[in-house]
């Protein structure tokens, strides 16, 4: 249900909007991908695997919802979040995926106006949770603080996690952006969907762009590409019964499928999926 700004601001949940300030227009102004989340059963083995893959990995700390994480920050301002549950929480939106083996699970876009972004998605027909406080305690004792909103099912994992920092964003992501493997940032993500037309109807008005129709012969898929900053968001469905996207949808539902990272002259090609826990290609 989409509710009016006046009605929403009168509720307890609407207080988060008031605290953030209110936009006069309901359109998103994303500046690119903020981070991508890869879920694991255990965090320490994931950290060791990514260091073996040539990444600089920094422990991130603990979150109140039961997860803990480590970060891989890039020169383009984005980062990878390696995450695992430190204690059980079957109410968390990532719990079921984590129990099924994890993988590339979620994505977030950079926002400076969470209120406008939530409203833009709601106006496009996407349900979004009311903004709520969040945070993380870093290993050095620094308490990070932010406000967060996300889309529940059936929009879950096809719409980004929205996060606006209260504490400085640089404190959240860190400044260790140099990696032995030469990776400098994120090029694109691929999200498998069972209805490209529906997803396009959400994203086009939010980003104020029609999207570009694409054919992905590498995965026998077709769909639409949106650009947010320097990052591409590909939403694709299978072209035939033999497409790996079709198999993915049957096993996992509509959700992130793969990512492409950029390098400044390092080794290119797919990373070892058994180590990375996700489909990652470096270009």
Domain check: are 31 and 169 in the same one? yes
Q: Please give the pLDDT value at position 259.
A: 98
Domain check: are 104 and 196 in the same one? no
47 domain-assigned: yes
198 domain-assigned: yes
Domain check: are 188 and 148 in the same one? no
The tens digit of pLDDT for each residue in 110-125 reads 888 999 999 999 999 9
Cβ contact 160:141 at 8 Å? no
Whether residue 205 is predicted with pLDDT greater than 50 in this model: the reply is: yes
Q: What is the pTM of this model?
A: 0.89
Domain check: are 148 and 58 in the same one? yes
Provide the number of structural domains found in the chain. Answer: 2
Q: What CATH number does residue 41 fall under?
A: 3.10.180.10
Domain check: are 131 and 225 in the same one? no
Containing structural domain, residue 141: 5-10+25-173
Q: Please give the pLDDT value at position 30.
A: 87
| CA 49/CA 272 separation, integer angstroms | 10
Domain boundary residue, one of 152, 173, 194: 173
Domain check: are 70 and 88 in the same one? yes
217 domain-assigned: yes
Q: Please give the pLDDT value at position 25.
A: 43
17 domain-assigned: no
- DSSP string of 81-133? EEEEESS--TTSTTHHHHHTT-EEEEEEEE-S-HHHHHHHHHHTT---PPPEE
Q: Length of the chain in residues, anyone?
A: 283
Whether residue 6 is predicted with pLDDT greater than 60 in this model: the reply is: no
How many CB atoms are closer than 10 A to CB 15?
14
178 domain-assigned: no
Domain check: are 52 and 81 in the same one? yes
Domain boundary residue, one of 173, 208, 228: 173
Q: Please give the pLDDT value at position 15.
A: 41
Domain check: are 38 and 169 in the same one? yes
Both structure tokens of 104: 């590339």
Cβ contact 22:111 at 8 Å? no
Contacts of 161 (CB under 8 A, 6+ apart): 37, 106, 107, 108, 148, 149, 150
Domain check: are 69 and 164 in the same one? yes
Whether residue 109 is predicted with pLDDT greater than 60 in this model: the reply is: yes
Domain check: are 152 and 111 in the same one? yes
Question: What Cα–Cα distance (Å) separates residue 135 from each residue in 112, 120, 156?
Answer: 17, 24, 21
């Amino acid at each position: 249900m989409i509710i009016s700004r006046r009605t929403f601001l009168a509720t307890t949940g609407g207080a988060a909007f008031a605290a953030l300030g209110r936009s006069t227009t309901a359109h998103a102004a994303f500046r690119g991908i903020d981070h991508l989340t890869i879920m694991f059963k255990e965090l320490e083995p994931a950290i060791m695997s990514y260091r073996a893959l040539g990444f600089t990995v920094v422990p991130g700390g603990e979150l109140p919802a039961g997860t803990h994480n480590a970060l891989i920050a890039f020169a383009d301002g984005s980062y990878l979040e390696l995450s695992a549950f430190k204690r059980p929480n079957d109410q968390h939106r990532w719990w079921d995926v984590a129990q099924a083996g994890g993988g590339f699970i979620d994505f977030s876009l950079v926002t400076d106006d969470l209120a406008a972004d939530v409203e833009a998605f709601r106006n496009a027909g996407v349900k979004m949770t009311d903004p709520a406080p969040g945070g993380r305690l870093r290993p050095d004792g620094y308490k990070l603080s932010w406000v967060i909103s996300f889309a529940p099912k059936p929009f879950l994992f096809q719409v980004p996690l929205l996060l606006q920092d209260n504490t400085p964003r640089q404190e959240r992501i860190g400044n260790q952006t140099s990696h032995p493997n030469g990776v400098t940032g994120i090029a694109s993500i691929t999200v498998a969907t069972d209805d490209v037309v529906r997803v396009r109807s959400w994203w086009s008005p939010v980003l104020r762009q029609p999207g570009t129709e694409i054919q992905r012969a590498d995965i026998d898929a077709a769909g639409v590409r949106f650009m947010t900053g320097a990052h591409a968001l590909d939403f694709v469905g299978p072209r035939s019964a033999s497409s790996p996207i079709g198999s993915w949808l049957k096993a996992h539902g509509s959700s992130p499928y793969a990512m492409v990272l950029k390098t400044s002259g390092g080794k290119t090609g797919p990373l070892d999926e058994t180590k990375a826990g996700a489909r990652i290609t470096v270009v």
